[in-house]
Structure 1
Amino acid sequence: MNESRQNYMDVILSETIHDVLFERRLRMNNFKDKQSSCLSEFDFLDSLENLKEENMKIGNFTLKKKDDIYYFTIPIFENYGNLFHIFTTRKTGYNDKELDLGVNTQTALNDVYMNYLKLCETFNIKQDSIILSDQVHKDNILIIDESFKSNNFLFKRKVKNADGLITNKKNLFLVTLYADCTPIYFFDPVKEVIALAHSGWKGTVKKIGEKTVLKMIKEFGCNPKDILVALGPSIGPESFEVKEDVKNFFEKIFNEKNFSFSNEIIKPGKNEKYLIDIWKTIEYTLINTGIRKEHILNSNIDTYKNTDLLFSYRKEKNTGRMAAIMAIIDN
């Protein structure tokens, strides 16, 4: 990195420290039911000493920084040298703006593109290796190979109408986008297969997580007992409030013979509304496919409650998007 670029990074990092990291203290709410506990209203560090630490646990994930980009990694994936994985935050994008990676947000596409370039530079990712999803809140899942590479990953995407991506090819960086929906990471270390699934409430009802596992089994011979799964930051069980029509969707689907747990995921809310636990719903459907319960790690980080660091469409409406990124790489 040249000197001027380094000075630019130093200025951004300094401003981030003063403007954000000293603003509040780290806090966590511990709920009686560990299954449904979620991180509430966390903030960053309260001293420069702590800032210089490489890792900080937030919920069940690890918050890290590289240059001035803050991102999460997943403990159950950390020991695999052939796996690249991150979940981005809103800190910090091109020209000290927010790190919005969304393609249909209020941020100009040129600025989004510059955010991607900054991300690629920071993490040494080749632009033509980025495979960006085209999410439509359905259950379409694609097998990704080199034919999906593009010389312009943002403006000439080759993925169309897909909320799930699977590959066993090296150095293809799968990217899915979020601002409350649940990112589901899959990794089979035996077959060396990865997948990402974008699971909003519609995708959850369509069981996109389950269908991703079944496709990994069918296409690559994966054993579900080998697959490690992580649920990234998303709207939590105390924040996802819905009206009766959505509640009825969940009751209809998850009162089936193999999914009779709607009474565990739907709770009464306020003003004749209901609270739905998307996290627990996804976990149950994954276990139903043969995924081991102990192989599922939920971040327990609620995007709705933590907009200092994370985007939340439900809370903010016009907001950016974070990215789940995953790749099989050379050791």
Structure 2
Amino acid sequence: MSDEHYETIRPFIYRNWSIHNDVMHIVTSRQGGVSEEPYHSLNLGFHVGDDTDAVLENRMRVCRAVGVDPGALTTAEQVHGSYVAVVGKTDRGRGAQGAANRLPKTDAMVTNTPNIPLMVLVADCAVIGLYDPIRKAIGVAHAGWRGTAAGVARRAVEKMKEVFGSNPADLIAGISPSIGPCCYEVGDGVCRAFQGAFPETVERFFTKSKKGKAHLNLWEANKWQLEEAGLKRADIEAAELCTACHTDLFFSHRAENGKTGRFGGLMMLRGSQRR
């Protein structure tokens, strides 16, 4: 993943996606917005307590930088689950102007309709981006520990296969910055959830600190899950940037004690609207 500079904002893009001109994708940083502390400065979430006008201005800046209609931003009420919504023209703009009309109880979105920008908001969780260059379809998923244990990345791949006819081996994937195994100390409940979900492979997702505490590796857990869904390891690009270590670049719920903003993973198919 490489960082870019578009106008005032500093987004990140996946290197293995850059050759594909028919898909727009970025992961925003926290830099280049107008929000004041503790949301400084490019907070994209309405639901965290920030000033609504500031969030709208921040979203406008992001959209202007990448050539997207801010009124078309499509977001979901992320609930740390695994439900995947198939997004069509009638859903375009859900959540663009406020949190009230987001897609309800949804943690992943897929579409093959151009000009619908899908956005997932995070502050330690990972954004999983999926792109099918053959069938021209995209997907985004919100993967914290609960979503990862529930298989949200795998379910998004399965939904693209079911609805769009995608071959998982054709997909390319990106895993955004998130809290890393260096900082993601978890308790027994998280360990048990992963043991139940992945009994044969769970050990590869955890390390032990010097104090004997379990640390979860969201990057490895989601890479493994995508491979199990049929993607090639070489086609999965993980940023492997820890949000808790880099609060100058990203919002971190854990490092900032729960009072912070949200950065976004944004994807859109370019082209004319389907009829």
The answer to whether the 8 Å contact 2:35/2:55 transfers is: no
1:117 pairs with one of 60, 65, 81 = 60
Equivalent of 1:279, from 201, 206, 219?
219
Q: Which moved more, 1:162-171 or 1:149-158?
A: 149-158
Quick check: 1:288 aligned with 2:231? no
Q: Please give the alpha-carbon distance, in whole angstroms, between the structure 2 residues aligned to 1:107 and 1:272.
A: 38
> Is the Cα contact below 8 Å between 2:74 and 2:94 reproduced in 1?
no
CA RMSD of aligned residues (A): 1.7
Confirm or deny: 8 A CA contact 1:148 1:158 kept in the other structure. Answer: no
Query: What residue is the counterpart of 2:76 in the other structure?
Result: 133
TM-fit CA distance, 1:130? 1.1
CA distance change for structure 1 residues 212 and 152 in 2, over 3 Å: closer, same or farther?
Answer: closer
Q: Larger Rg: 1 or 2?
A: 1
Number of the residue aligned with 1:147: 90
* Residue 269 of structure 1: how far off its partner (Å): 2.5
Q: How does 1:319-330 map to 2 (within 5 A)?
A: 319-330=260-271
Q: CA deviation at 1:272?
A: 4.9
Alpha-carbon deviations, 1:199-228, whole Å to 9, x = none?
A: 010000001000110111111110011000
Give the 5 Å matches for 1:278-317: 278-316=218-256, 317=258
1:107 aligns with 2:58: no
The percent of aligned pairs where both chains have the same amino acid is 27
Query: After superposition, where does 1:41-60 map in structure 2 within 5 Å?
Result: none
SS of corresponding position for 1:213: helix
Asked if structure 1 preserves the Cα contact closer than 8 Å seen for 2:35 and 2:43, the reply is: no
Point out where structure 2 has 5 or more consecutive residues left out of the alignment: none
Normalising to structure 1: TM-score of the pair? Answer: 0.77
The residue that corresponds to 1:14 in the other structure is: none
Q: Could you tell me how far apart the structure 2 residues matched to 1:157 and 1:77 are? A: 31
Aligned to 1:189: 133
CA contact (8 A) 2:95 2:102 kept: no
Query: Structure 1, residues 24-54: CA drift from partner, whole Å, max 9, x if none?
Result: xxxxxxxxxxxxxxxxxxxxxxxxxxxxxxx
Q: Which has the higher helix share?
A: 1
Contact 2:73/2:95 (CA < 8 Å) preserved in 1? no
- Conserved? CA contact 2:33–2:61, under 8 Å: yes
Hey, what's the Cα distance between the residues in 2 that align with 1:150 and 1:304? 31
Partner residue, 1:240:
184
Deviation for aligned residue 1:62: 0.8
Tell me what 1:26 maps to. none
By how many angstroms is 1:70 displaced?
Answer: 0.5
**Runs in 1 of length 4+ with deviation above 6 angstroms?**
none
Offset at 1:120?
A: 2.2
1:227 aligned residue: 171
What's 1:177 paired with?
121
The number of residue pairs the alignment matches comes to: 267
Match of 2:160 in 1: 216
Question: 2:2 aligns to what?
Answer: 62
**Do 1:141 and 1:164's aligned partners in 2 also have CA atoms closer than 8 Å?**
yes
Distance 1:151 1:281 in 2: 30
**Where do 5+ consecutive residues of structure 1 fail to align?**
1-60
